[in-house]
Amino acid sequence: MALRLARTTAARWAVASGVGAGLAFVFAVRERPAWASSPEAPSVVAQVQCDKATEPGRVRCGVDVRPTDRQKLVWADVSVVRAPSFSSALRGRVGPGEATARDATGYRFALALVARINGKGPLVLRVRAVTCSDGDGCRASSVEVSTELSVGP
C-alpha cells in the first residue's frame, strides 16, 4: 500500500509540476515515424573529395550533394562525424547558407581541416538533405560519406 501511495503521490506531483507532460513529450518524440524504418533509399547522393596536402596545415575538402531521380533539393547541410586523430575540423557543421553553390539540382559545400602532423586516416561526414517532388511532397534524408584524408609524402 505504501508503494502504491508513493507512486500515486509521485505521479500527482509530476502532473502538477508539468514534469509528466515533459516525459510524455520525450516518449512521443522517441517514437519513430513510419517512414524512418522504411527500406527506401536516400533521396540524395553525396560525394566528398579532399586535396592531398604535402605538409601539415590546412586541408580543403569539397562535398557535392545531388538529388536522386527527379527530386528538387531544397535544403542540405554537412557535419563532420569523425576526423583522423592528427587533424581537426575548423567547423563541425556547414549549413545551407554557407554552400558555395546552391540550386535545385544540387549543393556544393567547402570545408577545411587543420592537419597537425603527417598521416592518413578516414574522414566521415554526415549529409542531411530535404528533397521535394511535385506529386509526392517532401522528404528528409541522411547519408554518410567518407574519404581518406592524406597529409605528407
Question: What DSSP string runs through the chain?
Answer: -HHHHHHHHHHHHHHHHTHHHHHHHHHHHHSPPGGGGS-PPPSEEEEEEEPPBSSSEEEEEEEEEEESTT-EEEEEEEEEEE--TTEEES-SEE-GGG-SEEETTEEEEEEEEEESS-EEEEEEEEEEEEEEETTTEEEEEEEEEEEEEEE--
Same domain for 47 and 7? no
pLDDT digits (tens, 9 = 90+) for 101-112: 988 789 999 999
**Taking residues 38-48, what's their average pLDDT?**
80
Which pTM does this prediction carry? 0.70
Same domain for 15 and 74? no
Give residue 95's domain range: 39-151
Does residue 4 surpass a pLDDT of 80? no
Same domain for 107 and 142? yes
Same domain for 135 and 70? yes
Same domain for 105 and 126? yes
CATH code, 57: 2.60.40.10
pLDDT bracket for residue 54 (50, 70, 90):
very high
pLDDT digits (tens, 9 = 90+) for 71-119: 899 999 999 999 999 999 999 999 999 999 988 789 999 999 999 999 9
Same domain for 143 and 89? yes
